[in-house]
Amino acid sequence: MHINEHSHRTPTIGLTPLIDVVFILLVFFMLATRFGAWQDLPVRVSSPSTTPVVADDTVRQVQVREDGQVDLDGDTVSLEALEQALRRDPQRATRVTGADGASVQSIMRVVDILQDAGLTEARLELMR
């Protein structure tokens, strides 16, 4: 029997198990990742009969228009100016209205500003 001592095989690494492991890791991270920060929004709903009637001159009016612009008591203001105005008097009642066609993102941005400014009394109304 003749044995060839000079020919030897170079070991090869199979890529199939490596691809399987990478695929499993990819699926795991896709399922375990949260793409958005979910946050509860506390909303207090009251019936119209229990809502106190407040004179319109004491209620601050914030309106979100269709184009995303914000009006404070009839004057167009930037979001930074809105936050500064709200911080000056956080105890004053505020009514936020969203125009028909205003995006939910624009309205929620204003609600976040109200929350950051420390408002204690606010009402959100959506117009149709």
Order of strands across the sheet that contains 122-126: 75-77, 70-72, 60-64, 94-98, 122-126
Work out how many domains the chain is built from and give that number.
Answer: 1
**Is 77 contained in some domain?**
yes
Q: Is residue 31 one of the residues assigned to a domain?
A: no
Please report whether residue 32 resides in a domain: no
pTM above 0.75, yes or no: no
Instruction: Give the pLDDT band of residue 49 (cuts 50, 70, 90).
Output: very low
With respect to residue 105, please indicate whether it lies within any of the assigned structural domains. Answer: yes
Q: What is the mean pLDDT of residues 20-44?
A: 81
At residue 100, the pLDDT reads 80
Whether residue 110 is contained in a domain is answered as yes
Whether 102 maps to a domain, the answer reads yes
User: Tens digits of per-residue pLDDT, 90-125?
Assistant: 788 888 888 888 888 888 888 888 888 888 777 877
Residue 54 lies in a domain: no
Tell me the residue range of the domain where 85 lies: 60-126
List the CATH number of the domain containing 108: 3.30.420.270
Instruction: State pLDDT tens for residues 51-90.
Output: 454 456 678 888 888 888 888 888 888 888 888 888 888 7
Q: How far is CA 24 from CA 20, 21, 34, 35, in A?
A: 6, 5, 18, 19
Query: Is 21 inside a domain boundary?
Result: no
Taking each helix axis as running N to C, give the angle between helix 104-117 and helix 79-88, from 0 to 180 degrees, rounded to the nearest 10.
30
- Model confidence band, residue 26 (pLDDT cutoffs 50, 70, 90): very high
